[in-house]
Chains A and B, each alone.
Chain A
Amino acid sequence: MKEYELFIGPQHPGVTGNMMYHLWVDGDTVTKAECNVGYLHRGFEKLMESRNWMQNVPLVCRICVPEPDVNEMAYAMAVEQLMDWEIPERAKYIRVVILELARIAAYLMSIGSYAGSLGIYTLPQWALGDRDYFLDIFEQLTGARVYHIYIWPGGVRWDMPEKLPGLIEKTLSYTEKRLKLYDDVLFKNRIFFDRAVGIGKIPKGKAIEWGVTGPNLRACGYGYDIRKLEPYAVYDDMDFEVIKYPELGDFDVLSDGCDAYTRMIVRRLEIEQSISIVRQALEKMPEGEHIIKHPNWLKWKVPPGYAFKRVESSKGEYGYFVVSDGSNKPVRIHVRGPSYTHGVNVAETILKGANMADVSQILFSLDVCPPDIER
């Protein structure tokens, strides 16, 4: 059959955002895929060089829209290391709470859009509706629903309001209840088993070499989680197990891992894990200061040196490499984003040979966040 070209995106419900995939298709089979980006390019890394240390905080969160807090966290940790600051204990606990809440919100969005790509349109409505309750929490904690600008170098911007733990607990127990329904509609649904098992396989031996991280790597059977390997904030105080293939709890192990099915099950199980971490952090949260005193922002100079800090996000591993020459602006900030590897080289490789109907579910199961590709 004659080969033809097909463009998915940038405005297409089958891709994860403002990016495009250029596909070469033979009949129903993809023979070649090329990732085409540039629709979101704002030049974050270069912009950060012209702004002072504090002005960068409202900018870094824009690198990932569904889960902005990880960027603030990695940037703040790198600056703290350069400044040699020890942040207050309470701030560390509040950071864990907001990071995990953001993770749940991001997973809900990811699961919703994945279900949409399978044609189960009930779940996107539910998941985005339930995510809104988390946005309500963010609004009361940080003052904004999406871009929180809350984790600052030296602590967190504001203290946690007194009655917020009650609201968080209520939202978490609501989410737990809803997850059972999610299981019935998606995760234990016959359609999911028939469509997702064995689709979009990342070769297990190649996963590390390709730079796959996060839930996608854990679905391949590697117990790689920065929260465990290099605990930041107070993750070493929290009691949780890394979820990886083939330990999938109540869910059946239907394939030998690395496929869309396992990736989504890992995400589903990590929502429960995050819920338990938030509860532990709220329980153990000490009283005290939430931020240390900043120098005058306009004259704030960071000692020369460099720092590299990593955090675990819902998409994978984020790393911030920050170089300072002792002036009031950074010399260079490099962002290592997970979506760059997942969305470009991994997607391009595993889309080869896939069925046309599976393209969007493979892309959604990788959970790519386009602004992170075009930093």
Chain B
Amino acid sequence: MSVLKPLKAWKHLARKPHTIRYPAQEHLDMEGTRLPTDRLRGFHSNDLEKCIGCRMCGQICMNDAITYEEIPELEGKKGKNIRPVVDYGRCCFCGLCTDICPTNSLHLTPNFKLVSTDKHDYKFMPTQLITKNEDYEVELDKVIFDAKEYKEKF
């Protein structure tokens, strides 16, 4: 038992705080790796050309976050011309939809940043095959927020 030992806490005055000034300051782990890593479960990305519209992701989703919209441009390709639309107000980022995907077109990206005052912005059709941490910041602008905006790449 000691009365003076608790005063050791004063030496923390000279220490850097745990708090980081995100996003101005990078979030690093103890070894200096930039977080989030590729494994973080954030927004989806879906390769619309690879996706066959099999509706498996919608069936396993227990929050009913995944609905489908028809894309006429994809008519005549393999499978159906419907593609998943994710409601991020419902999504719990468990990633069961990506694990059940038979073509591996659906992925969860490490991107989790989306700020909007309009609730409709949180329901959109994920596009683009973003699988690596380095890609996501560049590619987010290209994500389709409305199925009607979809235009075929080629």
Q: Which residues of A contact B (CB under 8 A)?
A: 51, 54-55, 57-59, 120, 122, 125-126, 129, 132-133, 136-137, 139-144, 147, 149, 158, 161, 163, 166-167, 170-171, 174, 181, 184-185, 188-191, 193, 252, 297-298
With A and B bound together, what is the CA distance between A137 and B92 in angstroms?
20
Q: Are B8 and A184 in contact (CB under 8 A)?
A: yes
- Shortest Cβ distance from B8 into A: residue: A184
B100 surroundings in chain A (CB, below 8 A)? 297-298
Interface residues of B in 47-63 (CB under 8 A from A): 56, 59-60, 62
With A and B bound together, what is the CA distance between A327 and B116 in angstroms?
43
Q: Are A55 and B1 in contact (CB under 8 A)?
A: no
Min distance, Cβ A326 to any Cβ of chain B, angstroms: 21
Min distance, Cβ B38 to any Cβ of chain A, angstroms: 9
Instruction: Apart from A132-B18, A298-B59, list 6 A-B contacts with CB within 8 A.
Output: A54-B60, A139-B37, A140-B33, A167-B33, A188-B5, A189-B6
- Complex A-B: 25 CB contacts under 8 Å: A51-B62, A54-B96, A55-B62, A58-B92, A58-B94, A122-B12, A125-B18, A133-B29, A136-B30, A140-B33, A140-B37, A141-B39, A163-B31, A166-B31, A167-B29, A167-B31, A171-B30, A181-B9, A184-B9, A185-B6, A185-B8, A189-B2, A190-B1, A190-B2, A298-B100
By secondary structure, the A interface counts as: helix
B6 surroundings in chain A (CB, below 8 A)? 120, 184-185, 189, 191
Q: Chain B, 84-110, contact with A by CB distance < 8 Å: what is the 0/1 string? A: 000000001111100010000000100
B60 surroundings in chain A (CB, below 8 A)? 54-55, 297-298
Question: Given A57, A163, A171, A181, which contacts B8 in the complex, CB threshold below 8 Å?
Answer: A181
Chain B interface size range:
20 to 34
By secondary structure, the B interface counts as: loop
- Shortest Cβ distance from A144 into B: residue: B41
Q: Are B1 and A170 in contact (CB under 8 A)?
A: no
Q: Are A142 and B39 in contact (CB under 8 A)?
A: yes
B2 surroundings in chain A (CB, below 8 A)? 184, 188-190
Pairs A-B, 4 closest by C-beta atoms:
A129-B18, A58-B94, A55-B62, A184-B5
B18 surroundings in chain A (CB, below 8 A)? 125, 129, 132
Given A166-B31, A185-B6: A193 touches B93 (CB 8 Å cut-off): no
Question: Given A57, A167, A189, A298, which contacts B30 in the complex, CB threshold below 8 Å?
Answer: A167
A-B pairs under 8 A by CB, number:
93
Min distance, Cβ A17 to any Cβ of chain B, angstroms: 20
B29 surroundings in chain A (CB, below 8 A)? 133, 136-137, 140, 167
With A and B bound together, what is the CA distance between A75 and B62 in angstroms?
18
B12 surroundings in chain A (CB, below 8 A)? 122, 126
With A and B bound together, what is the CA distance between A285 and B12 in angstroms?
37
- Shortest Cβ distance from A191 into B: residue: B6
Q: Are B94 and A149 in contact (CB under 8 A)?
A: yes
Q: Chain B, 10-54, contact with A by CB distance < 8 Å: what is the 0/1 string? A: 001000001000000000011101011101110000000000000
A171 surroundings in chain B (CB, below 8 A)? 30
- Shortest Cβ distance from B41 into A: residue: A143
Q: Are A297 and B31 in contact (CB under 8 A)?
A: no
Q: Are B96 and A58 in contact (CB under 8 A)?
A: yes
Given A142-B39, A297-B96: A188 touches B1 (CB 8 Å cut-off): yes
Q: Does B3 contact A (CB under 8 A)?
A: yes
B8 surroundings in chain A (CB, below 8 A)? 181, 184-185
